[in-house]
């Protein structure tokens, strides 16, 4: 499929380095260490496409990946990692904002939350932000493999109640592949496949 054709294009440290064309983009956002890069790798079927790490803050730049047929997946740095100096945090926040605030290419946001720790303040801010720019959001409750079935369902319901119709919500695991087809279908819809 087209998702598997993903190829790294470039890493951007500032707005001037973003690709300057009109290809539609789906962005992966979420708190530091939530599992953004792992989700991207699982969805593209490429283990080493985006760098993942046990150490939060692995992704410090905005990474662009191009798909056959003319579209991109975008891996954003994680937000909210406590152990980086405030100046670095500020820099990341500005970089993330500079992408989300004025990127006409953006057609949808895949919002990654660790199923064990969903809807933290950053997540709520992100959802408000997406609503303000009128961008569709689909939430992946990832690391579902860490919880038993009953707990997975409870967390899903909790998030669904919190977001209402504002976003899609599904279970996901980059480890087991749970929820991959459902997530791919959402992205395909946004990209008009």
Distance separating alpha carbons of residues 98 and 117, to the nearest angstrom: 26
- From 27-35, 58-66, 86-94, 132-140, span contacting Mg ion (CB under 5 A): 58-66
Piece in contact with ligand GTP (CB under 6 A), picked from 6-14, 54-62, 128-136, 183-191: 54-62
Residue 148 to residues 123, 133, 154, 161, Cα–Cα distance (Å):
24, 36, 10, 20
Output the CA–CA distances (angstroms, integers) from residue 70 to 73, 76, 116, 156, 157, in the order listed: 11, 20, 35, 33, 36
Handedness of CA 35, 130, 133, 92 (dihedral sign): negative
Closest by alpha carbon to 74, among 192, 190, 193, 159? 190
Closer by beta carbon to ligand GTP, 83 or else 154: 83
One residue of 23, 45, 58, 119 binding ligand GTP per CB under 6 A: 58
Least CB distance to ligand GTP at residue 96 (A): 11
Q: Binding residue for Mg ion (CB under 5 A) from 37, 71, 142, 173? A: 37
Among 32, 33, 44, 59, binds Mg ion (CB under 5 A): 59
Site of interaction with Mg ion (CB under 5 A)? 36-37, 58-59
Q: Which residues are near ligand GTP by CB under 6 A?
A: 30, 32-38, 52-54, 56-59, 78, 142-143, 145-146, 173-175
């Amino acid at each position: 499929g087209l998702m598997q054709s993903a190829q790294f294009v470039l890493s951007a440290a500032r707005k001037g380095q973003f690709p300057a064309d009109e290809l539609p983009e789906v962005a992966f956002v979420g708190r530091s260490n939530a599992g953004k890069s792992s989700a991207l790798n699982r969805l593209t079927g490429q283990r080493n496409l985006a760098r993942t790490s046990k150490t939060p803050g692995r992704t410090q730049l905005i990474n662009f990946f191009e798909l056959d047929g003319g579209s991109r997946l975008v891996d954003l740095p994680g937000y909210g990692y406590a152990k980086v100096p405030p100046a670095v945090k500020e820099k990341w926040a500005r970089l993330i904002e500079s992408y989300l605030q004025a990127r006409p290419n953006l057609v949808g946001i895949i919002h990654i939350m660790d199923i064990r720790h969903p809807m933290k303040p950053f997540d709520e801010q992100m959802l408000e932000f997406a609503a303000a720019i009128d961008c569709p959001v689909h939430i992946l409750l990832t690391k579902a493999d860490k919880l038993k079935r009953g707990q997975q369902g409870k967390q899903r319901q909790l998030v669904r109640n919190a977001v209402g119709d504002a976003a899609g919500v599904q279970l996901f695991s980059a480890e087991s592949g749970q929820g991959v087809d459902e997530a791919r279908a959402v992205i395909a819809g946004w990209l008009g496949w």
